[in-house]
Amino acid sequence: MMTTNFYPQQYAQTNTYRINHNYLAEQFADYDMILTKIAQVIRRGDFTLGEAVNRLEQDFAQFNGGQFGIGVGSGTDALFLSLKALDIGAGDEVITTPFTFFATIGAIVTAGAKPVFVDIAADHNIDVSKIEAAITPKTKAMMPVHWAGVPCDMSPINTLAKVHGLAIIADACHAIGASYQQKRIAHWADISCFSMHPLKNLNVWGDGGLIVTNNPDIREQLTLMRNHGLVNREQCKMWAYNSRLDTIQAVVAQHLLDNKMSHINQQRLANAVWLDKALCEIPQITLPPRAANQQNVYHLYMARFEHRDDLQRFLQHKNIDAKIHYPIPMHLQPAALHLGHKTGDYPQAEMLAKSCLSLPIHEFVTGEELEYMVHCIREFYDS
Partner 1 sequence: MKVPFVHLGAQFHTLEKQLVQAFVQVGCSGEYIQGDTVKEFELALAHLCQCSQVVSVANGTDALILALKVLNIGVGDEVITAPNSFIASAGAIAAVGASIRFADVGQDYNLDIQQVHHAITEHTKAIIAVHLTGNPVDMDALTKLTRDRGIYIIEDASQAIDAAYKGRQVGSLGDLACFSLHPLKNLGLLGDAGFIATNNVELAQRLRCLRNHGLISRDEAIEWGVNSRLDAIQAAFGCIKIKYLKQWTARFQNIAGYFHNNLNDFVLCPLSRADDKPVYHNFVVQVHQREALRHQLLDAGVETKVHYPIPLHLMPAARDLPYALGSFPVTEQQSKHIMSLPIYPELSDSKVEYIVEQVLKKIKKLKVPRIQ
Chain residues 314-333 in contact with partner 1, contact rule CB under 8 A: 324, 326-328, 333
Residue range at the interface with partner 1 (CB under 8 A); choices 25-33, 261-269, 341-349, 372-380: 25-33
CB neighbour list of residue 249: distance below 8 Å, 6 or more residues apart: 196, 204, 205, 206, 208
Q: Which of 137, 239, 340, 382 binds partner 1 (CB under 8 A)?
A: 239
Q: Which of 153, 171, 190, 207 binds partner 1 (CB under 8 A)?
A: 207
Q: Which is nearer to partner 1, 108 or 176 (CB)?
A: 108
Site string for partner 1, 334-353 (x = CB under 8 A): xx------------------
Count helices and strands in the chain by DSSP H and E runs: 13, 13
What is the rounded distance in angstroms from the CA atom of residue 286 to the CA atom of residue 304? Answer: 5
What is the rounded distance in angstroms from the CA atom of residue 322 to the CA atom of residue 19? Answer: 9
- Say whether residue 97 binds partner 1 (CB under 8 A): no
Q: Which of 50, 67, 198, 270 binds partner 1 (CB under 8 A)?
A: 198
DSSP alpha helix (H) spans, 213-361: 216-225, 247-259, 261-279, 308-317, 347-355
Q: Give me the least distance between CB of 323 and partner 1, in Å please.
A: 9
- Say whether residue 75 binds partner 1 (CB under 8 A): yes
Q: Which of 39, 122, 163, 280 binds partner 1 (CB under 8 A)?
A: 39
- Say whether residue 77 binds partner 1 (CB under 8 A): yes
- Say whether residue 249 binds partner 1 (CB under 8 A): yes
The number of C-alpha atoms within 13 Å of 13 and in the hemisphere containing its C-beta is 2
Pair type for strands 301-305 and 285-286:
antiparallel
What is the rounded distance in angstroms from the CA atom of residue 352 to the CA atom of residue 111? Answer: 28
What is the 8-class DSSP label of residue 289?
Answer: P
- Say whether residue 8 binds partner 1 (CB under 8 A): yes
- Collapsing DSSP states into helix, strand and coil, what is residue 167? strand
- Say whether residue 174 binds partner 1 (CB under 8 A): no
What is the rounded distance in angstroms from the CA atom of residue 99 to the CA atom of residue 115? Answer: 13
- Say whether residue 154 binds partner 1 (CB under 8 A): no
Q: Give me the least distance between CB of 341 and partner 1, in Å please.
A: 14
- Say whether residue 300 binds partner 1 (CB under 8 A): no
- Say whether residue 232 binds partner 1 (CB under 8 A): no
